[in-house]
Amino acid sequence: MKILGEGGWQRTAISLAAALGLAFSVWPAGLVHADKEDEVRQNIEDNKQKQEAKEKEIEEVKQEVDKLKKKLEPLEKELEKIKIKEDAAEEDLEKAKKELDKYDDQYKASVRSMYIHGGANQMESLLSADSFEQFLARFEFLRLIIKQDFSQVQKYYDAKERAEKARDKVLKTRKEKEKKMKEIEKDYDKMVDLLQKNRSALAQLEEKEMDYRKTLSQLNLENLRTGEFPFQGPLRKPVNGPVTSGYGYRGSEFHTGVDFSGDIGTPIYAAGNGRVVRAQTCGCGYGYYIMIYHGGGVYTLYAHSYSWQSKVSVGDVVKKGQLISAIGNNGRSTGPHLHLEVHVGRPGNYVNPRQYIPY
């Protein structure tokens, strides 16, 4: 067995580390991107589930808020009616107080006057009676006068007492309703606060989803730049214009794409995300044309433009809907139009564009 000398194990460790570094340096970038893309997609899916759960919770809280609101509405109406009754009771009480004060003052003044000024005369009238019967009659007369004044005052005391009882009853009812309303309002405020928190949480989840999708888009663009990638569909109509000629035979000639009419200069947009693989003039009748690879073996071709109209070059990564050129009348063309083709598997393997693009 060979024993490593001084410094031997260090050289071995360095060699091993270098070998590992080399191994990882040649690790397929596509696998790394694929793993990262799967992770982001899973994050989006998890986030979606959280959003759905939060939306469900929000809906439940909204229903609870609506229920509490329905409880508050009749209570508010009852309190309005009680307030009207309370105002009326206060008016009756004030009126009773004024009447009582008036007759109470009159009664007290009458008794005071009889005591101060008329006491001797009343006594003289009683004592000057010719008979005991006359004395009793005069006494009864005086007593009735005093009693009548007092009865009038008592009547207003009773009126005041009734008004006070009515007022107190209304006040008691109002306090009970207000207490109940405060309890419901407390629950209502809690639910509204919970609703706001849930909405805020949902907004954060939606913002996080946007971040995830932005990351996914960046990964997709990186995949587009680095090589093979999945089909970046679905595709869109590349120009705003009517179809003037479809895919298939036109008499004895087979039309390999679909034609869209438009004036010279009408914008042409990328039908989907992809990478520009051709941007050149062709003597085959296309004039200047652009070909974009969308992944998964799907290509689109845009013909009859002029080179100076092109906005892209070979190797450029484009996004769906990005301006790439404009309608021209270059090559074998009877008038300004876009000739669009879809190739699958390899360039030159034409298929009906309608299979991929709605128009």
Map out the domains of the chain with their CATH numbers: 49-224 (1.10.287), 243-355 (2.70.70.10)
Pairwise pLDDT comparison (222 vs 203), residue with the higher score: 203
Q: What is the chain's length?
A: 359
pLDDT at 118 over 60: no
Q: What are phi and psi of 24, to 5 degrees?
A: -70, -30
What average pLDDT does range 94-100 have in this prediction? 71
Least confident of 40-49, 120-129, 252-261: 120-129
Least confident of 74-83, 142-151, 175-184, 213-222: 142-151
What pLDDT, on a 0 to 100 scale, did the predictor assign at position 9? 46
- The SS3 call for residue 10 is helix
Q: Which of 259, 232, 235, 267 is nearest to 335 (CA)?
A: 259
Cα separation, 67 vs 46, whole angstroms: 32
Stretch 126-142: mean pLDDT, rounded? 62
User: What pLDDT, on the 0 to 100 scale, is given for residue 6?
Assistant: 47
What percent helix, strand, coil does the chain show, rounded to 5? 60, 15, 25
d(CA 36, CA 179): 59
> What is the structure's pLDDT at 235?
95
Question: Is residue 314 over pLDDT 50?
Answer: yes
pLDDT given for residue 144 in this prediction:
58
pTM reported for the whole predicted model: 0.45
| pLDDT interval class at 31 (50, 70, 90) | very low
Highest mean pLDDT among 35-39, 128-132, 176-180, 321-325: 321-325
More confident residue, 134 or 280: 280
Residue with tokens 């009664």: 107
Amino acid at 160: K
**CA atoms of 339 and 355, how far apart (whole Å):** 16
